């Protein structure tokens, strides 16, 4: 038997060159895949670290907010302690006249109002002013000669505003027509 395939020996070098080229391309692709997998692993690690950092920051922030809520009144309460102490001392005094007790209560009230004002609380005492339905609550209308209609003639209970927000309206009696 004779080999009549005349193309086989001629294609052998081309086939070998093509095979080498394919192998080189395959090796380059494998190298690129390995490089991309390495980059992917680095990015995954970076994302996981960033997520952990964000979670830690969220926890710290939540802890700080909880602490702020728990101790929000600390400054105010520290300012109120001397008033508390003064009232306790006043209760331990045996005897004493009414004028002295009254003076002590008045001083305590002034100190309490000063502390409240330092913390944004303002008293609403509208005596002699026109009725303001936003800040006053009229509970009665009374005859008041010499007063204009709608003028506050008596304050039954003072109102309070905290940082421009009404906490409690003043309860008032108003002059009627």
Model confidence at 76, in pLDDT bands (50, 70, 90)? Answer: confident
Q: How far apart are CA 117 and CA 47, in angstroms?
A: 50
Are 16 and 65 part of one and the same domain?
Answer: yes
Q: Are residues 17 and 51 in the same domain?
A: yes
**Domain membership flag for residue 2:** no
Closest C-alpha among 92, 88, 177, 172 to residue 134: 172
Are 31 and 52 contained in the same domain?
A: yes
Please state the domain count of the chain.
3
Do 131 and 176 have their domain in common?
Answer: yes
Same domain for 60 and 96, yes or no, is no
Q: Are residues 82 and 109 in the same domain?
A: yes
Convert the pLDDT of each residue in 104-159 to its tens digit. 889 999 999 999 999 999 998 899 999 999 999 999 999 988 888 999 999 999 99
Instruction: Give the pLDDT confidence of 136-151 residue by residue, as tens digits.
Output: 999 999 998 888 899 9
Same domain, 15 and 64: yes
Verify that 33 and 51 share a domain, yes or no.
yes
Q: Tokens 């304050």, residue?
A: 155
Site of tokens 């309070």: 160
Q: What confidence tens digit (pLDDT) does each residue in 23-55 have?
A: 999 999 999 999 999 999 999 999 999 999 999
Q: Do 126 and 163 belong to one domain?
A: yes
User: Residue 162: which domain range?
Assistant: 120-177
**Residue 163 gets which letter from DSSP?**
T
Spatial strand order in the sheet of 152-157: 136-142, 170-175, 152-157
How big is the chain by its Cα radius of gyration, in Å? 43
- Supply the mean pLDDT for the chain: 88
């Amino acid at each position: 038997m004779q080999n009549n395939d005349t193309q086989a020996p001629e294609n052998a070098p081309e086939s070998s060159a093509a095979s080498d080229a394919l192998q080189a391309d395959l090796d380059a692709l494998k190298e690129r895949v390995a490089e991309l997998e390495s980059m992917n692993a680095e990015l995954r690690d970076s994302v996981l670290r960033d997520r952990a950092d964000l979670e830690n920051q969220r926890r710290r922030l939540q802890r700080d907010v909880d602490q702020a809520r728990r101790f929000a009144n600390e400054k105010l309460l520290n300012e109120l302690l001397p008033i508390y102490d003064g009232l306790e001392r006043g209760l331990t005094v045996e005897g004493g006249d009414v004028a002295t007790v009254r003076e002590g209560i008045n001083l305590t009230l002034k100190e309490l109002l000063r502390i409240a004002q330092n913390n944004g609380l303002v008293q609403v005492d509208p005596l002699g002013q026109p009725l303001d339905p936003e800040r006053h609550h009229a509970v009665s209308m009374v005859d008041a000669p010499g007063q204009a209609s709608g003028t506050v003639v008596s304050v039954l209970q003072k109102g309070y505003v905290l940082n421009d927000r009404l906490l409690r309206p003043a309860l008032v009696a108003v002059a009627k027509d």
